[in-house]
Amino acid sequence: RMEKRINKFRGWLPRKPMKFDNDRLPDLEENESFTAPFSRSRIHHFIIHNKDTFFNNATRSRIVHHILQRVKYEEGKTKMGKILKNSIRTHGADNHRHLLYECWAWWGVWYKYQPLDLVRRYFGEKIGLYFAWLGWYTGMLFPAALVGLLVFLYGLFTLEHCQVSKEICQANDIIMCPICDQYCPYLRLSDSCIYAKVTHLFDNGATVFFAVFMAVWATVFLEFWKRRRAVLAYDWDLIDWEEEEVKEEIRPQFEAKYSKKERMNPISGKPEPYQAFSDKYSRLIVSTSGIFFMVIALLLTNLGKLVTHNFAISFCMNNQPRTESEWENSFTFKMFLFQFVNLNSSTFYIAFFLGSGCLIDLCMQMGIIMVLKQTWNNFMELGYPLMQNWWTRRRLRREHGQNAKAGFPQWERDFNLQPMNAYGLFDEYLEMILQFGFTTIFVAAFPLAPLLALINNIIEIRLDAYKFVTQWRRPLPSQAKDIGIWYGILEGIGILSVITNAFVIAVTSDFIPRLVYAYKYGPCAGQGRAGEGCMMGYVNASLSVFRVSDFERRSHPRTNGSELFGEAVKYCRWYRDYREPPDSAEPYSYTLQFWHVLAARLAFIIVFEHMVFAIKTLIAYLIPDLPKDLRDRMRREKYLIQEMMYEAELERLQKEKNEKKKKDRVHHKEWP
């Protein structure tokens, strides 16, 4: 393309110290030129300096794969197919695989930009876009991680000034009711002093700001990724690929099932198998009903996980999509839905159903997921292929004996590596999309989530690169112009995160009850301010009184508290509740403060959601999908193409005119 500039190492860290030397990858230099789909009949129109390097590695692999799928491999027979052999080398000469190892997959270059153009040339556009998206996501986590860390530090620095924590730590005379029936003892409120301080680290005045920030961040991330993807699609000649170059072949499973029914393709004009309307939508209804049933089963119980997973696969296959892209999108959405519900059901239960004021429990759950689960995933992601390849080498040494000591050819060693997952990049995307969900959906409860995600992703990029280059067989390169249905899933998670964070702040957090007390019931009521001094007496006002003699027989504690307090306990305090005292006219009924808090919670949810969605919509509107410089380059390209076509047409007409004049002169001379 005219005036194309290949940005080799756009990545996720500051530019200057992170680039490779210009002479490291000399074969990536590209001259400015127009591009078009290659045709052998028009080979004279293409500038070919070297036939061996005219097509990049990924394109050559696709051509060879296409030929081998159709060539006869036994003389005199009609059998067709291919023998899977890889002739690439990891080390030795500076081929693309070796360069990728040195400049990308080696752990020593973790701080360098990713050579995305080289990744695309070797592995194809689909894998190149995955690593481009992963790098972009990791880079966007830097501001989110910084703000989340500042929110945590704010809670740490204001800990000593928190009036609520002070009152809890000094409440030696407040006796709390047992937290379970019969076997749990009475406790002093001051025993939960550390718990209260830790809660303040994550539940403080900056929590609401951070929730809004992360909702806006998710929108900015997606909008700027669209711009980044557009630049890559232009640089990699994929802008018009879908319309001009791709011919979606019918899936063999679809063709086998519906080969008896054919209709004319309105585009190609050729007959092809088709699925009747009634059959298609009956299968869709059955599949959707099955998915809904299994999601409900996952939410109700954890005992059916294995059974549900097995049924999921069958339901995914029940509906027969026509093309590979339709099948991939259908499979991706269904499997993501199962995994998302399965992994998030416990988190949603803690956040909204376990009980009010369980923010620290939700925080602990998030910490375990973001630290332990991610560490285990990384260990298994690299450890499993390493162990499998080690076992394969050991088995081959035993089978070949002395011959194995001499070593196998490189292509045979590559062939003995582990094949890529049968579902392609599904597992890689799924891991990162689920992490994106944990980072945004409950970020109000755990502001350190973006920081932990950032640390994990810096490792993940090199871990995936090392796995692709050294532990897996080279997958068949394939083209793509975007990340497919995953973008829609990311948008859905962004919307869900706004809703869940609004409910976490309003229901799970103590933010709204504190605000209502400060403005309505505290020492500063009616004064229009809500500092820490306005929170005096909040703890005592938020704990209802309960008469011990009113315990049901099956719930009455086995201890009367005399061993701890010196005398039998007559009254204890409920955990964060607004009830009338037992001696009032309506004992244990809700107080007016309860209804004020409930109304404030509902109002906050409505205001928060509408405000954040308005901001998200405004940002999405203000950020164009195409950068201005790219739009100008595309317009200039079209202008130059029109100019060239105009000049070519003038040249053709002039040539025809000259030939006509020449013929006229010859005819005139020959006339007697």
Q: What is the pLDDT of residues 178-220, one digit of tens each?
A: 888 888 888 899 998 998 888 888 888 888 899 889 989 999 9
Q: What is the pLDDT of residue 82?
A: 43
Question: For the segment 58-68, what is each residue's pLDDT rounded down to a tens digit?
Answer: 777 767 766 66
Same domain for 525 and 473 = no
Question: For the segment 494-541, what is each residue's pLDDT rounded down to a tens digit?
Answer: 999 999 999 988 888 888 999 999 888 888 887 777 777 888 989 988
10 within some domain: no
9 within some domain: no
Q: What is the pLDDT of residue 37?
A: 63
Q: Are strands 271-273 and 545-547 parallel, antiparallel or unpaired?
A: unpaired
Please state the separation of Cα 409 from the chain's center in Å.
39
Same domain for 405 and 458 = yes
What percentage of residues in the chain have a pLDDT greater than 70? 73
pLDDT score of 86 more than 60: no
Query: For the residues of 102-156, what is the DSSP string, one character each?
Result: IIIISGGGTTSPP-HHHHHHHH-HHHHHHHHHHHHHHHHHHHHHHHHHHHHHHHH
Scan for tokens 């954040």, then name that residue: 612
DSSP letter at 70 equals T
SS (H, E, C) 407-422: CCCHHHHHHCCECCCC
Q: What is the pLDDT of residue 340?
A: 87
User: Regarding predicted confidence, which is higher, 27 or 287?
Assistant: 287
4 within some domain: no
**What is the residue-averaged pLDDT of the chain?**
78
- What does the pLDDT average to over 407-416? 77
Helix (H, G, I), strand (E, B) or coil at 554: coil
Q: What is the pLDDT of residue 635?
A: 86
- Give the number of domains in the chain: 4
Same domain for 299 and 254 = yes
pLDDT score of 645 more than 70: yes
Domain's final residue, options 124, 148, 164? 124
Burial, 379: exposed, middle or buried (Cβ in 10 Å; 0-12, 13-18, 19+)? exposed
3 within some domain: no
- What does the pLDDT average to over 631-649? 83
Same domain for 106 and 224 = no
* C-alpha to C-alpha distance for 180 and 556, rounded to whole angstroms: 10
Same domain for 492 and 523 = no
Query: pLDDT category, 406, cuts 50, 70, 90?
Result: low
Domain's final residue, options 108, 124, 140? 124
Structure tokens at 588: 């244990």
Question: For the segment 145-189, what is each residue's pLDDT rounded down to a tens digit?
Answer: 999 999 999 999 988 888 889 999 998 888 998 888 888 888 899
User: Regarding predicted confidence, which is higher, 311 or 176?
Assistant: 176
Q: What is the pLDDT of residue 658?
A: 83
Same domain for 644 and 582 = no
User: Regarding predicted confidence, which is higher, 521 or 267?
Assistant: 521
Identify the weakest region by mean pLDDT among 83-97, 557-571, 605-619: 83-97
Same domain for 151 and 115 = no
Q: Closest Cα to residue 155, out of 98, 83, 205, 190? A: 205
Same domain for 99 and 140 = no
Helix (H, G, I), strand (E, B) or coil at 8: coil
* C-alpha to C-alpha distance for 584 and 572, rounded to whole angstroms: 16
- What does the pLDDT average to over 536-562? 87
351 within some domain: yes
Query: pLDDT category, 238, cuts 50, 70, 90?
Result: confident
What percentage of residues in the chain have a pLDDT greater than 90? 20
Q: What is the pLDDT of residue 507?
A: 87
197 within some domain: yes
User: Regarding predicted confidence, which is higher, 38 or 474?
Assistant: 474
Identify the weakest region by mean pLDDT among 245-249, 511-515, 649-653: 245-249
Question: The domain containing residue 44 runs over which residues?
Answer: 16-124
Domain's final residue, options 509, 544, 559? 509
Q: Closest Cα to residue 228, out of 319, 102, 139, 318? A: 139
Query: pLDDT category, 6, cuts 50, 70, 90?
Result: very low
577 within some domain: yes
* C-alpha to C-alpha distance for 223 and 619, rounded to whole angstroms: 8
538 within some domain: yes
Same domain for 571 and 486 = no
Same domain for 525 and 397 = no
Same domain for 544 and 483 = no
- What does the pLDDT average to over 609-622? 91
Q: What is the pLDDT of residue 606?
A: 94
Same domain for 153 and 97 = no
AA letter at 80: M
